[in-house]
Structure 1
Amino acid sequence: MYLCETAEAGNNKKSSHTFECKHDATNHIRLQMSSASAPEVLLEKVGRAGVITLNRPKAMNALNLTMTRLLYPQLKEWETDEQTDIVIIKGAGGRAFCAGGDIIAVTEAGKSGDPLAQDFFREEYVLNNTIGMYKKPYIALIDGITMGGGVGLSVHGRFRVATEKTVFAMPETAIGLFPDVGGGYFLPRLQGKLGMFLALTGFRLKGRDVQRVGVASHFVESQKISALELDLVGLRSPSNEDVSKLLESYQTQVTMFLGVHCIHLVHLVLFSAGSVEGILQNLNTDNSAFAKKQAETLARMSPTSLKITFRQLEQGAAMSLQDVLVMEYRLCQACMRGKDFYEGVRSVLIDKDHSPRWSPATLAEVSDHSVDQCFSPLGETDLRL
């Protein structure tokens, strides 16, 4: 098995930027919850399908609290509506499904003590859980950049359809955070140490690899996504098996060859260790170009984030999605109380100097006690699902 990496220069540029149908429609619904000329989320009933379009293309459809508060009640309504058989979610603009959460707004809220810093994560995680437990076929068309919060809107659903334009990543350790939105649940369930590798390094999977490793359930050529959507909304009272058969029929039509630079999964054994320090030791004693590059990558990440993330995945491997989300809410609130999240956002998104001053600055300075505290219950303010 191989992983394919996108061009480094282009990726660096995209990484800093990302933290920010033709239908015969019946019962057409569009909700507008802001004074902007275009709604941030389009919620449509197309035949017997509920269709969600994330509609912030200039922000690569980054998820904010307003959008979450539109999505959650509509999903709950469609789940029990006898006139709705399936739900489809997609992104507008052609570049991104959803490139993440509105991190800058959360950062400003955290600095000022605004409750948005609690509300955003709490309501986002409740939405992630709703998707993970959804009773009807839920199909995410992840055609384009899918990172952070966009992963939370897709990966827990039954069907995730990638294309050659899909770029998947969880790059949170670069901004003093951790791979949340249920990352502690799905990442350790990927083959071998792939999840740990993705979580610590923020490596970007592209195109067919997103489906090959199991992050996506199916792969369809981007130019056929519109036709697929029409066929999906044309299904009559479909079961999960009916949807799967349709998606598989499109997957068998793939003829394109994607020639890119690849890395063999055998290298990921280097991420088998009992600690982040152990992983770094493995990388530093290996002579491969892969090991050297990943060691350099980890050296740029928040030491606190690396240690939190390692334990998050180790514990999450044996937990339910609900328990993982409760754990991750405790972790995100610990990050709001700390320093690295604000410094990471400053470095990557605001000043864009990519020279964060982490505190503590080294792994050795991050004590087990400080990590333990991040996982401590929050009492009355704990997330409840």
Structure 2
Amino acid sequence: MSIFNGDIVTELRGQVGFITLNRPRALNALSLGMVRDLTVALKAWAADPAVLGVAIRGSNKDGVFGAFCAGGDIRFLHQAATTGDADLEAFFTEEYALNHLIHSYPKPYIAFMDGIVMGGGMGISQGGSVRIVTERTKMAMPETIIGLFPDVGGGYFLSRCPGHVGEWLALTGDTIGAGDAIAFSLADHFLSAERQAGLWDALGAQQWADGAGFKAWLGQQFEAAPAAATTADVRAQIDQFFALADAKAIVQSLEADRQDWARATGATLRKRSPLMLEVVLEQVRRARSQTLAEDLKMERDLVHRCFHLRPGQSETVEGIRALAVDKDHSPRWNPARVEDVPASLVAEFFTSPWPAAQHPLRELV
């Protein structure tokens, strides 16, 4: 039995390593300590021939499952940024290295993506070889709400969604459910929420001759996926509008359209940081031709720029302030309109502050 005495609970049962995110009051938001504990556990199990796979889940205030991970600890990010805490830089470097480790993990990595799966929660699940969603899954990359960008490899996995779905999800931060997640290549299998505990327990009770037998057994445990909630008409609109050249054109075209979906989406984008809309669009489009390591290095450059490009004028610090600190939900974006974003300012985000040999993620390949 697991003993819940920390933010990360690890356990080895049978041939599987089990991880439970155990910070339910914060919706399992990742701290630097949690990132480090996850990294240590995963590296140890990768090197252990007795371990055939890893499973990860979240917990909620009443027990397990029901909430996977809401992302990174944005209150910590705000405090660290405003006080000059060096752990701010360490957090992103180590989190992105963890994301890379999961994507390249040598054994099956099974993510039970029940409930909220957002931001950093996507970072520790999208690289999994078996990504399970339920009828309770609420999936999003909502970083533009706080003046950030979809990091943790978001450029890589969103850019590989069909059509221009990646740009839509990245710019709006819209939430999707299980059917859409599978249709958009952001999940692999569906399992009813009530069946999760049974599969979790069975993983620790079964015995397999080898990894191939483990994978074969696991593949037989799932249910038919629900239909995608995003209709063919909306998909067509996504591909029409989010293929446009820049965020300015996307916003203006959405607002000029007569369809309800388009106008509502345009209104959503007007609430986001105009500067970061242009940065995010460029990020996703660059990532389409990048490896995961290249994308994560680019994102590490971007996140440094988010906090340091304009001293005292960080869109991210301002976005977190408005959402989670002062909670006035009235961020003062600079520039205030997407029409006023200079291309030169966007370009600065994509210039690395480090020589290649000194990059914090230089060892990723």
When normalised by structure 1's length, the TM-score is 0.86
Counterpart-to-counterpart distance in 2, 1:348 and 1:274? 30
Equivalence map 1:30-45=2 (5 Å): 38-45=5-12
**Aligned counterpart for 2:320 among listed residues 299, 324, 345:** 345
Verify the 8 A CA contact 1:137 1:240 in the aligned structure 2: no
Verify the 8 A CA contact 1:49 1:88 in the aligned structure 2: yes
Counterpart-to-counterpart distance in 2, 1:57 and 1:89? 15
Letter of the 2:319 partner, please give it.
G
Counterparts in 2 of 1:180 and 1:244: CA distance versus 1, 3 Å: farther
Q: CA deviation at 1:313?
A: 0.4
Instruction: Tell me what 2:345 maps to.
Output: 370
Verify the 8 A CA contact 2:28 2:70 in the aligned structure 1: yes
Counterpart-to-counterpart distance in 1, 2:126 and 2:212? 16
Secondary structure of the residue aligned to 2:222 is: helix
Counterpart-to-counterpart distance in 2, 1:156 and 1:250? 19
Secondary structure of the residue aligned to 1:205 is: coil
Deviation sequence 1:220-276 (CA, Å, 0-9, x none): 000001111223332414536743653444224x7xx78979673122122111111
Equivalence map 1:320-339=2 (5 Å): 320-337=291-308, 338=310, 339=314
Deviation sequence 1:151-175 (CA, Å, 0-9, x none): 0000111111000011000111110
1:383 aligns with 2:361: yes
Verify the 8 A CA contact 1:168 1:206 in the aligned structure 2: yes
Counterpart-to-counterpart distance in 1, 2:192 and 2:229? 17
Q: CA deviation at 1:104?
A: 0.9
Counterpart-to-counterpart distance in 2, 1:260 and 1:303? 28
Equivalence map 1:8-27=2 (5 Å): none
Q: CA deviation at 1:83?
A: 1.1
Verify the 8 A CA contact 1:107 1:117 in the aligned structure 2: no
Letter of the 1:185 partner, please give it.
Y
Counterparts in 2 of 1:350 and 1:313: CA distance versus 1, 3 Å: same
Deviation sequence 1:6-56 (CA, Å, 0-9, x none): xxxxxxxxxxxxxxxxx6xxxx8x7xxxxxx83000011011100000000
Structure 1 portions without partners, runs of 5+: 1-22, 31-36
Counterpart-to-counterpart distance in 1, 2:305 and 2:228? 42
Counterparts in 2 of 1:272 and 1:245: CA distance versus 1, 3 Å: farther
Counterpart-to-counterpart distance in 2, 1:186 and 1:171? 14
Aligned-residue CA RMSD in angstroms?
2.0
1:283 aligns with 2:221: no
Letter of the 2:361 partner, please give it.
L
Secondary structure of the residue aligned to 1:228 is: helix
Instruction: Tell me what 2:238 maps to.
Output: 268
**Aligned counterpart for 1:95 among listed residues 43, 48, 66:** 66
Q: How many residues align?
A: 349
Letter of the 2:74 partner, please give it.
I
Structure 2 portions without partners, runs of 5+: none
Counterpart-to-counterpart distance in 1, 2:86 and 2:42? 24
Instruction: Tell me what 1:114 maps to.
Output: 85
1:224 aligns with 2:174: no
Instruction: Tell me what 1:48 maps to.
Output: 15
Verify the 8 A CA contact 1:146 1:167 in the aligned structure 2: yes
Q: CA deviation at 1:289?
A: 0.3
Counterpart-to-counterpart distance in 1, 2:337 and 2:66? 36
Secondary structure of the residue aligned to 2:68 is: strand
Verify the 8 A CA contact 2:146 2:316 in the aligned structure 1: yes
Further displaced range: 325-334 or 204-213: 204-213
Deviation sequence 1:163-214 (CA, Å, 0-9, x none): 0011000111110100000001010110001110000000100133222222
Verify the 8 A CA contact 1:121 1:329 in the aligned structure 2: yes
Counterpart-to-counterpart distance in 1, 2:321 and 2:48? 44
1:246 aligns with 2:224: no
Counterpart-to-counterpart distance in 2, 1:315 and 1:347? 29
Verify the 8 A CA contact 2:234 2:261 in the aligned structure 1: no
Instruction: Tell me what 1:12 maps to.
Output: none
When normalised by structure 2's length, the TM-score is 0.90
Counterpart-to-counterpart distance in 2, 1:336 and 1:79? 34
**Aligned counterpart for 1:316 among listed residues 278, 287, 310:** 287
Counterparts in 2 of 1:146 and 1:259: CA distance versus 1, 3 Å: closer
Counterpart-to-counterpart distance in 1, 2:258 and 2:209? 56
Verify the 8 A CA contact 1:271 1:282 in the aligned structure 2: no
Letter of the 2:169 partner, please give it.
L
Counterparts in 2 of 1:340 and 1:202: CA distance versus 1, 3 Å: same
Instruction: Tell me what 1:128 maps to.
Output: 99
1:303 aligns with 2:274: yes
**Aligned counterpart for 1:59 among listed residues 26, 32, 40:** 26
Counterpart-to-counterpart distance in 1, 2:187 and 2:265? 24
Equivalence map 1:155-174=2 (5 Å): 155-174=126-145
Letter of the 1:77 partner, please give it.
A
Further displaced range: 363-372 or 166-175: 363-372
